[in-house]
Amino acid sequence: MISVLDRKLLRDLRRIWAQVLAIAMVLACGVAVLVLANGAQLTLTETRDSWYDHSRFADVFATATRAPLSLTDRIAEIDGMAQVEARISDFVILDMPGMAAPAMGRVVSLPEAGEPVLNIPLVRVGRLPDPTRADEVAVSERFALAHDLAPGRSFHAILNGQRRELTVTGWMLSPEFIYAIGPGTLIPDDGRFGILWMGHDGAAAAFDMEGAFDEVSLRLTPGASVPAVVRALDDLLDPYGGTGAHGRDRQMSHAFLQSELDQLSAMAVVLPPVFFIVSAFLVNMVIGRLIALERQQIGLLKAVGYSTPQIAGHYLKLSIGIGVVGLLIGWALGAFFAGRIAGLYAQYFSFPYLVYVPSPGAFVLSGSLAVATVVLGALRAVWASVRLSPAVAMSPPAPPKYSRGMADRIGALLRLKQTTMMILRSLIRWPGRAAITVFGVAASVSVLVASFFSFDAMDAMVDDAFYQSNRAGLTLMLSQTRSPRVVEDARSLPGALQVEGVFAAPVRLTHGPHEKFLQLQAQPEGAELLRVLGPGGGEVPMPPAGVVMPAAMAEDLGLRAGDMVSVEFLVPPRETHLLQITAVTFQALGQSLHMNETALFDLLRQGPQVNMLNLLIDDAALPDLYAQIKTTPAVSGVMLWNEMRKQFVDEIQRNLWTMVLIYSILGILITVGVVYNAARIQLSERSHELASLRVLGFTKAQVAYVLVAELMFLSLVAVPIGWWLGYLFAAATAEGFSTDIVTLPLIVTRTTYGGATAIVLVAALASALLVKRRLDRIDIVTALKQKE
Amino acid sequence: MDAVAAQKAVFRTEGVTKVYGTGAGAVQALRGVDLTLYEGEMVVLLGASGSGKSTLLNILGALDTPTAGRVFFREQELTRASDRELTAFRRDHVGFVFQFYNLVPSLTARENVALVTEIAKNPMRPEEALERAGLKHRMDHFPAEMSGGEQQRVAIARAIAKRPEVLLCDEPTGALDSKTGVTVLEALTDINRELGTATAIITHNVGIQKIAHRVVFLADGRVAKVIENETRIAPSEVTW
């Protein structure tokens, strides 16, 4: 049997449903984000971990130029080693049927005998290639789907300069290539990049690697130290052109997946508190008002013998009621979107299965947080009122105390109208409530600024990576290092308007305990296709000696311009040099060190060399150029910047409006929650006063001015605060999102500030006008008769 | 009146003083009130505005505490009781009726009464209380759907539903027209007679005094005089 007091509670909730809903939606956003982020995180983590486990995903990875297979015995002796598997792996150019542009593939060899013991690929369709047959390959599932490569079909590859026909035996998924991207790219492009599993003998013959390997994976015993194994492995591989062993953290696919998980964690930590704090303030405002209105009922309850805890409990239950509405909506939304997100991830990540696992922890956590939020929000108001003695509570509250002061001086100075004075006095009389309104509106502006910032950052990144610093149409990777004469040869390629040679070498930077592996690029004087830019966007002149380094990397290493850094070249002659950092640069995509070309080759005591070619091309000649690339043995890889540019922009555009819509809804919900409630409370408190104005002959519009203008004034005050908060959020986002591969530039455009402002102000005005309709309908006589 | 005088005292006050505010703005509402109320009697408290009637009633009902003096409910000294004990006292022994009814607008008549019966020790059913107050036919109406007299009778039903020993009524007819006022007074006298509930009624309507056993005149925070009515009249005979 439901008690009478609870029945009152339900009726109260129903009576103020619009306000309850406005708060509940804000709370629901916080809950939904928490459930969504946690659910997605749990889903990805559990799926990943279980697959890693089943497929025996390695713990340590390393590459070398060419190491003898016998070395694996010594690797197996490293302390903490469980299993080792060596293989041959290289990038190749593919000529796919029906595709003019060349595609790229990464050939991965299978063991000489038996099945792989580490990073075991999952056969989805067909079978693994016959180890004895050099013309058979299994391909990654997405690549197969993109090219309709049913088992038995074939395509061509340029293997070590030779064009060969390869026949597909099956489709595979691998824990190493959950996120599979080609060199120089960020987003998987199923049509242009694929993995090819090939029998060992075939790969060894194709790449001239008989009795040798260039990649090795290690699985460690539980509790073994990854850094120790990495050091030991580095020592063994050094003589064979080892480029630095590493744990899972630098394994490309794992790193991308981890970065996604980190972003989900950041989302779960940063966003929900904003919504929870705003909700707590709203509950405080609304329950506070409700209690003020029910002051006499509280007195009565006390008079008839209800105890203080019983009455306090009643109002806390009311606030919990609001919390429960928000929680249920939030849970439903969170679970719904978490279910959908599995599908979204399936666009980018290749898992054998991806089933949404609801995270009970997230439901419990969000539930506790939501209840704590509303209870904390209500506590102060409840406490203040239930303390009153019954006789005091039952007498009407003293009229609000206005006093002459600042408002009057301002009013006199500005010759303000009396209605404006009413606004001014109300702001000064209830500064706390004004502050809550300002804070809430500022929070929604900041959420919008921080959300729209990601589009600004993407734009800036694309502009930097594809237009400002990298102006090449395509880059050709050469299969071998060559003399600069190759640049002259390349000028005769079809459609080549401009050709620049590049030399890049892998290096290891060390500074104190910090260590980084990256490419050092030789920058020729006057290079136009690849420019090195500073954090401000201007070109950084190459110093005659020393290196320039990306600012983000310098920060990671604890270095500044002017400092010395130890640079170990991982290519022959494998020397270590102490070089000065002469300037820092900004690079949105990838992180490389740059050095004056002449200085570099002087340092290495070598003549100039080239291992990549940047080309500016005439689009009309592309088909001819593509055809030529597919048959040029010297080219081992190609990066089609024009295509990547297009793919990147398409990718952003594809989700742009959906994301703008979702973020706008979040921002609008906060604004509506705050402004609508503030307006309703104003209306309830001041209906007597406002009705009096009507009696005196003010028009509806003039009376509405008092209500609407105050809220719009507060909203305007909130806007710059929201900009500032939003900028802080954006900075945190940029920091959290940036990795060794991507650096998100901290650029917030005027469009973002303007858009966020416009959305919030329109939502605020609409909320205030919604309440104005109630004001218009107020019956003057009834309002005047009200006791309060 | 001997029958009444021989009965036990329900309330006894000794030198009760009440001062609101401090310093220059201090208002002395009661200046040493000594008064006794007996079991089963009906007392009318008369006095001008500001004479201290409501303050005295609030103190008797433990809605407020005196600045000085002592208040006894039977043997219990209310002026020494804790907040918890006062809550229990209000819950178990006193019924209140206020000038502006003080009903919970979101509850029906029946529910407003149930508000009390749910926490009382030995209550009557809400329906019975409403029937005694003459409101059998309006039980499921909300306050906004009832007239002032009906609302006040809901308040009376709510006050008597717990079978209190004392009923404290602060201007119960103050907001009502004479015809409706009479029905409310009838409800009060009926309950006093049938249940023997000691009843104190504050009013500034001199005509009402004749329905009481005793009339206490308050002036300027003191008991000015006490009159015992030799003969009482029925509420319907009251002239307004």
Q: What value does the mean pLDDT take over residues A741-747?
A: 80
Contact A4 B107 (CB under 8 A): yes
Nearest-CA distance from A3 to chain B in Å? 8
Contact A7 B118 (CB under 8 A): no
Whether the pLDDT of residue A765 is over 90: the answer is: yes
Q: Average per-residue pLDDT in chain A?
A: 87
**Per-residue model confidence (pLDDT) at position A438:** 94
Contact A390 B88 (CB under 8 A): no
Contact B84 A391 (CB under 8 A): no
Cβ atoms of residues B132 and B160 within 8 Å: yes
> How far apart are the C-alpha atoms of A438 and A444, rounded to whole Å?
10
Three-class DSSP category at A693: helix
Whether the pLDDT of residue B110 is over 60: the answer is: yes
Whether the pLDDT of residue A781 is over 70: the answer is: no
Q: What value does the mean pLDDT take over residues A231-260?
A: 89
Residues of chain A in contact with residue B61, where contact means CB-CB under 8 angstroms, are 303
Residues of chain A in contact with residue B114, where contact means CB-CB under 8 angstroms, are 4
**Per-residue model confidence (pLDDT) at position A392:** 76
> DSSP code of A465?
I
CA distances for A213 relative to A63, A87, A110, A549, angstroms:
9, 5, 11, 32
The residue written with tokens 């909730």 in the block is: A13
Cβ atoms of residues B184 and B145 within 8 Å: no
Closest CA to B55 of B191, B168, B188, B205: B168
Closest CA to B118 of B156, B89, B158, B165: B158
Whether the pLDDT of residue B3 is over 60: the answer is: no
Q: What value does the mean pLDDT take over residues B212-229?
A: 93
Contact A306 B87 (CB under 8 A): yes
Residues of chain B in contact with residue A390, where contact means CB-CB under 8 angstroms, are 63-64, 90
Three-class DSSP category at A13: helix
The residue written with tokens 């006499």 in the block is: A296
Q: How confident is the model at residue A299 (pLDDT cuts 50, 70, 90)?
A: confident
Q: What value does the mean pLDDT take over residues B220-238?
A: 90
Q: What is the pLDDT of residues A504-562, one digit of tens each?
A: 988 989 888 888 888 899 988 888 888 888 887 788 888 888 899 998 888 888 899 89
CA distances for A233 relative to A68, A71, A75, A229, angstroms:
14, 10, 7, 6
Whether the pLDDT of residue A564 is over 50: the answer is: yes
**pLDDT higher for A696 or B186?**
B186
Cβ atoms of residues B187 and B169 within 8 Å: no
> DSSP code of A110?
P
Q: What is the pLDDT of residues A419-470, one digit of tens each?
A: 787 788 788 878 888 998 999 999 999 999 988 898 888 888 888 888 888 8
Closest CA to A461 of A753, A756, A738: A738
**Per-residue model confidence (pLDDT) at position B1:** 43
Three-class DSSP category at A518: strand
* Residue A208, C-beta contacts closer than 8 angstroms, at least 6 positions apart: A160
**Per-residue model confidence (pLDDT) at position A404:** 62
Q: Average per-residue pLDDT in chain B?
A: 88
Q: What value does the mean pLDDT take over residues A611-618?
A: 91
Q: What value does the mean pLDDT take over residues B18-23?
A: 86
Q: How confident is the model at residue A787 (pLDDT cuts 50, 70, 90)?
A: very low
**pLDDT higher for A775 or A753?**
A753
* Residue A526, C-beta contacts closer than 8 angstroms, at least 6 positions apart: none
Q: How confident is the model at residue A480 (pLDDT cuts 50, 70, 90)?
A: confident
Q: How confident is the model at residue A690 (pLDDT cuts 50, 70, 90)?
A: confident
Whether the pLDDT of residue A161 is over 90: the answer is: no
Q: How confident is the model at residue A143 (pLDDT cuts 50, 70, 90)?
A: very high
Whether the pLDDT of residue A227 is over 70: the answer is: yes
Q: What is the percent of chain B where pLDDT is above 70?
A: 97
**pLDDT higher for A538 or A725?**
A725
Other CB atoms closer than 10 Å to residue A368's CB: what's the count?
11
| ipTM higher than the 0.85 cut | no
Nearest-CA distance from B64 to chain A in Å? 6
> How far apart are the C-alpha atoms of B157 and B176, rounded to whole Å?
17
Q: How confident is the model at residue A396 (pLDDT cuts 50, 70, 90)?
A: low
Nearest-CA distance from A705 to chain B in Å? 31
* Chain A contact residues (CB < 8 Å to B): 3-5, 7-8, 11-12, 15, 296-297, 299-308, 310, 389-392, 394, 787
**Per-residue model confidence (pLDDT) at position A407:** 65
**Per-residue model confidence (pLDDT) at position A786:** 56
> How far apart are the C-alpha atoms of A346 and A339, rounded to whole Å?
12
Q: What value does the mean pLDDT take over residues A79-93?
A: 93
Longest Cα separation, chain A: 101
* Residue A727, C-beta contacts closer than 8 angstroms, at least 6 positions apart: A449, A748
**Per-residue model confidence (pLDDT) at position B207:** 87
Closest CA to A83 of A32, A108, A119, A36: A119
**Per-residue model confidence (pLDDT) at position A782:** 67
Three-class DSSP category at A744: coil
Three-class DSSP category at B103: coil
- Entry pTM: 0.81
Whether the pLDDT of residue A490 is over 70: the answer is: yes
> DSSP code of A395?
S
Answer left, alpha or beta for residue A546, where phi above 0 means left and psi between -120 and 50 means alpha.
left
Three-class DSSP category at A388: coil
> How far apart are the C-alpha atoms of B143 and A300, rounded to whole Å?
15
User: Which amino acid would we find at residue A572?
Assistant: P
Q: How confident is the model at residue B2 (pLDDT cuts 50, 70, 90)?
A: very low
Closest CA to A568 of A492, A515, A618: A515
Contact A299 B63 (CB under 8 A): yes
Q: What is the pLDDT of residues A123-134, one digit of tens each?
A: 999 999 988 888
> How far apart are the C-alpha atoms of B55 and B19, rounded to whole Å?
10
The lowest-confidence range among A290-299, A617-626, B193-202 is A290-299
The residue written with tokens 């990464």 in the block is: A106
> How far apart are the C-alpha atoms of A534 and A523, rounded to whole Å?
15
The lowest-confidence range among A156-170, A424-438, B188-202 is A424-438
Q: How confident is the model at residue A57 (pLDDT cuts 50, 70, 90)?
A: very high
